[in-house]
């Protein structure tokens, strides 16, 4: 996953962003490693990819295990009685609603990255299925239609910007890999990607 983040995502560009004044890594190394990776660039990168991994990944596997051991009634009771558990599942639902796998669907055809992308997509589907069963809802955040509508409205607005950001990053990455990161076209593509990244990050905050 770290190779994917370093080579196929906008993560390295966070070194050029002025927002938050946080570099990608806590210390300068030639190779990205998990120990020194900062949380803000990590989370924001997944927001730009429209795969909100930090908000849902692994939860579906855990919940499915409980459901498979016939604990569905216990989980439903916990969802009704525990504010913490209800907030946990509702926040995961928000992350799922902010995820759009159609934006990165081309990775499904990538020989190297396809298996990783499909594993993440399948986990997202698993989380959604478990939440709907436990919360006994017909769709995610059915208990909070205003938040659901707000997320949907903002996601539709930001989609054209996402297309621009992904295209600009792809053009910059191609030139950078060819050793032309300092050429005029690469600089222009990087500027476009950075401007779009800042806007996308601001638009996809948890505030509904």
Q: Is residue 177 part of a domain?
A: no
Q: Is the pLDDT of residue 202 over 80?
A: no
- Rounded to the nearest 10 degrees, the angle between the axes of helix 72-81 and helix 83-97 is 100
Domain carrying residue 76 = 56-141
Buried/exposed code over 187-196 (b: 16+ C-beta within 10 A; e: otherwise): eebbebbbeb
Q: How many Cβ atoms from other residues are within 10 Å of residue 127's Cβ?
A: 27
Specify the pLDDT at position 184.
Answer: 92
Q: Is the pLDDT of residue 130 over 70?
A: yes
Q: Is residue 62 part of a domain?
A: yes
Length of the chain (residues):
208
The Cα 59–Cα 56 span in angstroms is: 6
Q: Is the pLDDT of residue 8 over 80?
A: no
Q: Is residue 64 part of a domain?
A: yes
Q: Is residue 160 part of a domain?
A: no
Specify the pLDDT at position 204.
Answer: 67
Q: Is residue 12 part of a domain?
A: no
What is the four-CA torsion angle of 33, 37, 42, 45, rounded to 10 degrees? -60
Question: How confident is the model over 91-125, as pLDDT tens digits?
Answer: 999 999 999 999 889 889 988 889 999 999 999 99
Q: Is residue 18 part of a domain?
A: no
Q: Which pTM was predicted? A: 0.84
Specify the pLDDT at position 139.
Answer: 96
Q: How many domains does the chain have?
A: 1
User: What are the φ/ψ torsions at residue 11 (nearest 5 degrees)?
Assistant: -50, -50
Proportion of the chain above pLDDT 70, given as a percent: 90
Q: Is the pLDDT of residue 170 over 80?
A: yes
Per-residue confidence band for 197, with pLDDT thresholds at 50, 70 and 90: confident
Specify the pLDDT at position 208.
Answer: 42
Question: How confident is the model over 133-158, as pLDDT tens digits?
Answer: 999 999 999 999 999 999 998 888 88
Tell me how far CA of residue 108 lies from CA of 23, 50, 119, 121, in angstroms: 30, 15, 10, 10
Q: Is residue 131 part of a domain?
A: yes
Q: Is residue 76 part of a domain?
A: yes
Greater pLDDT, 197 or 63: 63
Question: How confident is the model over 26-63, as pLDDT tens digits?
Answer: 656 566 667 777 778 888 888 888 999 999 999 999 99
The Cα 107–Cα 137 span in angstroms is: 31
């Amino acid at each position: 996953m770290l190779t994917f983040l370093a080579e196929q995502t906008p993560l390295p560009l966070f070194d050029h962003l002025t927002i938050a004044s946080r570099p990608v890594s806590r210390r300068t190394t030639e190779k990205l490693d998990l120990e020194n990776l900062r949380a803000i660039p990590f989370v924001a990168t997944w927001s730009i990819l429209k795969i909100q991994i930090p908000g849902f990944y692994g939860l579906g596997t855990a919940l499915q295990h409980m459901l498979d051991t016939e604990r569905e009634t216990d989980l439903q009771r916990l969802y009704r009685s525990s504010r913490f558990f209800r907030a946990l599942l509702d926040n995961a639902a928000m992350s799922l609603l902010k995820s759009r796998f159609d934006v990165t669907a081309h990775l499904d055809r990538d020989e190297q990255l396809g298996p990783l992308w499909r594993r993440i997509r399948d986990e997202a589907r698993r989380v959604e299925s478990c939440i709907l069963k436990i919360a006994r809802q017909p769709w995610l955040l059915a208990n909070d239609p205003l938040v659901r509508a707000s997320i949907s409205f903002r996601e539709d607005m930001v989609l054209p910007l996402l297309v621009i950001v992904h295209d600009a990053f792809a053009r910059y990455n191609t030139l950078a890999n060819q050793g032309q990161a300092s050429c005029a076209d690469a600089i222009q593509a990087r500027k476009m990607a950075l401007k779009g990244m800042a806007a996308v990050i601001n638009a996809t905050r948890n505030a509904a």
